[in-house]
């Protein structure tokens, strides 16, 4: 019953927040979700940010803002201490009980549905623009990103797609690898690859023999994982990948996870860069040097 009351309170607050969005331009905005933070800054409202979650790392200046905690584990007290008028929360933000507590305290919450689809970023920009009173800027940003995505999408071949295995993390056991319905799988597909793992959803440990069965052409991981594991040669030497390297020609590459999987305004450029990694032989268009690509803005 307590969980149900929390859910009902949160639902009521979200409906109220959506209804109020058109009439109120919040002066103090807290954000839980890196892509949403980037959208707020790209819409020219970065000076209204009073706090962000720890996944919000771009542009550089947001790192100096007060922290709400990790995206899935924000703390109600920390949020309320910043006295925000609005909390923008991604679909992954939580925990639900904390969001319900914040709603019960009277904080307006606007929650966006992320959707692992680069084109969903365009829709999300409209929602954020309405919530913060920047509709005109949102319309312009939507048009720019839609045009950039269309340009890249048209140039990416859909036939003979390379198989890509995304390594999220690894320790002493089996590596944690992306399956279906993940941010990584969606970006790989959009960028012209094929996610090598479709037997499960989410991220799960994968045994060495299953890595061989997946027969990837490319092992993709994050730059943070490469540093944590001691370099790309250390990843190649892991038991899960050593046998693979001996049996087939497989490439290894790393990406910045916030840039590649943040699903913010930089999404078209991220798709283009990932497509170049997956299909280096394919010519892809140059994209405009948008103002919101700069880390120092």
Domain with residue 113: its CATH number is: 3.40.50.1980
Residues 9 and 145 in one domain: yes
Residues 112 and 194 in one domain: no
pLDDT (0 to 100) of residue 218:
97
Residues 30 and 134 in one domain: yes
Residue 294 counted as domain residue: no
Residue 156 counted as domain residue: no
Nearest to 107 by CA among 5, 20, 4, 1: 20
pLDDT (0 to 100) of residue 208:
85
Residues 36 and 68 in one domain: yes
Q: Which whole-number Å values give the CA distances from 183 to 227, 228, 263, in the listed order?
A: 21, 21, 9
Query: Which H or E run includes 178?
Result: strand 176-178
Residues 171 and 122 in one domain: no
Q: Structure tokens of 5?
A: 């009351």
pLDDT (0 to 100) of residue 24:
67
Residues 133 and 191 in one domain: no
pLDDT (0 to 100) of residue 55:
94
Which residues lie below 8 Å from residue 99, measured CB to CB, with a gap of 6+?
10, 89, 93, 109, 111
pLDDT (0 to 100) of residue 57:
95
**Residue 69: which region, alpha, beta or left (left: phi > 0; alpha: psi -120 to 50)?**
left
* Cα–Cα dist 75/99, whole Å: 9
Domain edge (last residue) among 122, 150, 178: 150
pLDDT (0 to 100) of residue 21:
42
Predicted structure pTM score: 0.87
Residues 97 and 237 in one domain: no
Q: Which whole-number Å values give the CA distances from 12 to 8, 25, 93, in the listed order?
A: 6, 20, 17
Residues 167 and 93 in one domain: no
pLDDT (0 to 100) of residue 15:
43
Given the structure tokens 């910043």, which residue do they identify? Answer: 82
Q: Which residues of the chain have pLDDT under 50?
A: 1-22
Measured CA angle at 67 (ends 108, 28), to 5 deg = 35
Range of the domain at 116: 2-150
Torsion over CA: 39, 42, 48, 49 (sign) = positive
**Residue 7: which region, alpha, beta or left (left: phi > 0; alpha: psi -120 to 50)?**
alpha
Residues 130 and 47 in one domain: yes
Residues 118 and 206 in one domain: no
Residue 286 counted as domain residue: no
Which residues lie below 8 Å from residue 207, measured CB to CB, with a gap of 6+?
174, 240
Residue 133 counted as domain residue: yes
Q: How many domains does the chain have?
A: 2
Q: Give SS3 for 148.
A: helix
Residues 128 and 44 in one domain: yes
Mind listing the pLDDT tens digit for each residue in 31-42? 999 999 999 999
Q: Structure tokens of 259?
A: 């840039």
Domain edge (last residue) among 150, 173, 197: 150
Given the structure tokens 């929650």, which residue do they identify? Answer: 111
Residue 292 counted as domain residue: no
* Cα–Cα dist 96/238, whole Å: 38
Which residues lie below 8 Å from residue 28, measured CB to CB, with a gap of 6+?
48, 50, 82, 83, 84, 85, 86
pLDDT (0 to 100) of residue 114:
65
Residue 9 counted as domain residue: yes
Domain edge (last residue) among 92, 125, 150: 150
Residue 291 counted as domain residue: no
Residues 83 and 170 in one domain: no
Residue 182 counted as domain residue: yes
């Amino acid at each position: 019953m307590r969980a149900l009351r929390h859910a009902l309170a949160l639902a009521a607050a979200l409906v109220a927040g959506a209804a109020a969005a058109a009439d109120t331009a919040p002066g103090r905005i807290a954000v839980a979700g890196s892509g949403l933070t980037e959208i707020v800054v790209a819409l020219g409202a970065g000076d209204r940010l009073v706090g962000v979650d720890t996944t919000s790392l771009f542009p550089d200046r947001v790192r100096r803002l007060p922290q709400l905690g990790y995206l899935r584990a924000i703390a109600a007290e920390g949020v309320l201490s910043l006295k925000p008028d609005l909390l923008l929360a991604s679909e992954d933000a939580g925990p639900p009980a904390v969001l319900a507590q914040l709603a019960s305290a009277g904080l307006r919450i606007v929650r966006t549905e992320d959707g692992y689809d680069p084109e969903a970023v365009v829709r999300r920009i409209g929602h954020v623009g309405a919530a913060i009173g920047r509709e005109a800027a949102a319309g312009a940003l939507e048009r720019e990103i839609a045009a950039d995505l269309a340009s890249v999408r048209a140039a990416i071949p859909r036939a003979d797609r390379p198989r890509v295995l995304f390594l999220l993390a690894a320790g002493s056991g089996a590596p944690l690898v992306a399956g279906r319905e993940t941010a990584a799988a969606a970006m790989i597909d959009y960028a012209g690859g094929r996610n090598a793992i479709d037997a499960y959803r989410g991220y799960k440990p994968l045994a060495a023999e299953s890595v061989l069965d997946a027969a990837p052409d490319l092992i993709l991981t994050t730059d943070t994982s490469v540093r944590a594991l001691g370099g790309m040669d250390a990843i190649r030497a892991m038991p899960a990948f050593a046998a693979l390297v001996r049996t087939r020609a497989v490439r290894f590459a790393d990406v910045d996870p916030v840039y590649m999987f943040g699903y913010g305004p930089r999404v078209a450029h991220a798709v283009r860069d990932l497509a170049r990694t997956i299909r280096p032989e394919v010519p892809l268009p140059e994209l405009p040097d948008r103002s919101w690509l700069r880390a120092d803005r």
